[in-house]
Amino acid sequence: MSYVNEILERLAAQNPGQPEFLQAVTEVLESLQVVIEKNEDAYRKNAFLERLVTPERIIMFRVPWVDDKGQVQVNNGYRVQFNSAIGPYKGGLRFHPSVNQGILKFLGFEQTFKNSLTGLPIGGGKGGADFDPKGKSDREVMAFCQSFMTELYKYIGENEDVPAGDIGVGGREIGYLYGQYKRLTGQYEGVLTGKGLSFGGSLARTQATGYGLLYLTDELLRCNGKELKGKTVAVSGAGNVATYAIEKAWQLGAKPVTCSDSTGWIYDPDGIDVATLIDVKQVKRARLTEYAKARPNSVYHEGKGVWTTRCDVALPCATQNELLLDDAKALVANGCFAVCEGANMPTSLDATKYLQSQGVLFCPGKASNAGGVATSALEMTQNSQRLSWTFEEVDAKLKDIMVNIFHNVDNAAREYGMEGNYVAGANIAGFLKVADAMNAQGIV
């Protein structure tokens, strides 16, 4: 049996009940087969893959807090410090009821390769809690964040581990987390990214993941003899990534016609109105039914179905496994020719393979959504220089990084005889730098 298959079998036996982690590792290791088999004995002797798929450390802690009724609540908090070969652990915090160790392991594993692809010196990590910020008062969210940080602060630092936002963690939560870190340590340091502009945040970090997704999509299309201008785009999600993906799609001359949240989705024939979306989801923190009320031409559909609209380009920007095989079939039947992931692992493995088999240009999240973490690394640079760059400077660097990522991914796929397979290209290109650093640093 090949070394890769041996590791996959072993991992499945060791991690029952962690399907997302197994899915992420399977996708990566299948791509790496061509690299590993060139030197299989050496990799096996060094237990290289065992080390690659095992987090350096997982911290789990209880998070007690008091709700507005005086009732004590307890949530599970985590930080998965996956791989520090190329830099301090870096990756977001997710607050969502679905959070568990398996999901954070999948996200930390993906983050390791994504961060490598940015070309910047950041290792891979992820954390969060099974806390649901929905329906909570600001005071409750603050109480939760303070309690969460009271445990987490022991394990993070500007040269050690630098968390940021993810699902359910935006500017409000980062502010509360930062305030508590500073209070506990007395340090004013770049220990979190996605901070507010008045306390060390970077211009363009808020927009970076969505903008970066569109910069990469634009380059992907251009290099395949197509263009984004004039195209209809289906977007899922209505949070940070989706909102700024929609804004940049408009700016590049495309028409984004859908968005979705955890209860339903919107089709707007006039194109999604960014100001209305921001008002509904960021200011009112309401459901998308409010968007439909504000935009009478739009249609709200309860439940799933965002991939059933006619579109040229699809950008899944909500969560993992939100684009399944039937969705992929519907997209292809409706003429969709490119899918670029804004979320982490939104497309299931069989859906990805189907899209690729149908000639759809498919870019995996670890390449196409890397603009967020890349701009976080730019925030770290500004913090350590004690300088702030302009929006235009950061945006220009982001665009360069995304264009470079696309070409590195494209070149890696060609070099290993899989031209156009951007999944393989991203996994291989991300892996090579991490592997080089791990090998140079000995058995650690």
Q: Does residue 343 contact residue 369 with C-beta atoms inside 8 Å?
A: yes
* 111 is a site residue for ligand NDP (CB under 6 A): no
Which structure tokens are listed for 18? 């962690």
* 83 is a site residue for ligand 2IT (CB under 6 A): no
Exposed, middle or buried: residue 290 (CB in 10 Å: 0-12, 13-18, 19+)? middle
* 241 is a site residue for ligand NDP (CB under 6 A): yes
x/- binding map, residues 325-364, to ligand NDP, per CB under 6 A?
Answer: -----------------xxx--------------------
Cα distances (Å, whole numbers) of residue 411 to 98, 124, 417:
37, 23, 10
Alpha-carbon distance of 79 to 402, in angstroms, equals 27
Q: Which of 54, 73, 185, 262 binds ligand NDP (CB under 6 A)?
A: 262
Q: Does residue 242 contact residue 210 with C-beta atoms inside 8 Å?
A: yes
* 7 is a site residue for ligand NDP (CB under 6 A): no
Select the residue whose beta carbon is closest to ligand NDP and give its number.
239
Examine the residue annotation and report whether 229 is marked as an active-site residue of this protein.
Answer: no
Which structure tokens are listed for 238? 């209505």
The partner in contact with residue 179, picked from ligand NDP, ligand 2IT, none with C-beta cut-offs of 5 to 8 angstroms by kind, is none
* Residue of 7, 54, 51 lying closest to 26 (CA atoms): 7
Q: Which helix (H) or strand (E) holds 129?
A: strand 123-129
Which structure tokens are listed for 231? 């195209």
Number of helical (H) and strand (E) elements in the chain, helices listed first: 17, 13
Q: Which is nearer to ligand 2IT, 192 or 259 (CB)?
A: 192
Q: Which is nearer to ligand 2IT, 108 or 425 (CB)?
A: 108
Q: Which of 102, 125, 165, 190 binds ligand NDP (CB under 6 A)?
A: 165
Site for ligand 2IT in 336-375 (CB under 6 A): 344, 372-373
Edge-to-edge, what's the strand order for the sheet holding 258-260?
Answer: 258-260, 264-267, 299-302
Binding segment (CB under 6 A) for ligand 2IT, from list 76-84, 87-95, 397-405, 430-438: 87-95
The partner in contact with residue 31, picked from ligand 2IT, ligand NDP, none with C-beta cut-offs of 5 to 8 angstroms by kind, is none
Q: Which of 240, 347, 352, 427 binds ligand NDP (CB under 6 A)?
A: 240
Count of residues that interact with ligand NDP, criterion CB under 6 A: 24
Torsion of CA 338, 371, 342, 411, to 10 degrees: 40
Q: Which of 20, 140, 166, 268 binds ligand 2IT (CB under 6 A)?
A: 166
- The residues binding ligand 2IT (CB under 6 A) are 90-92, 111, 114, 164, 166, 193, 344, 372-373, 376
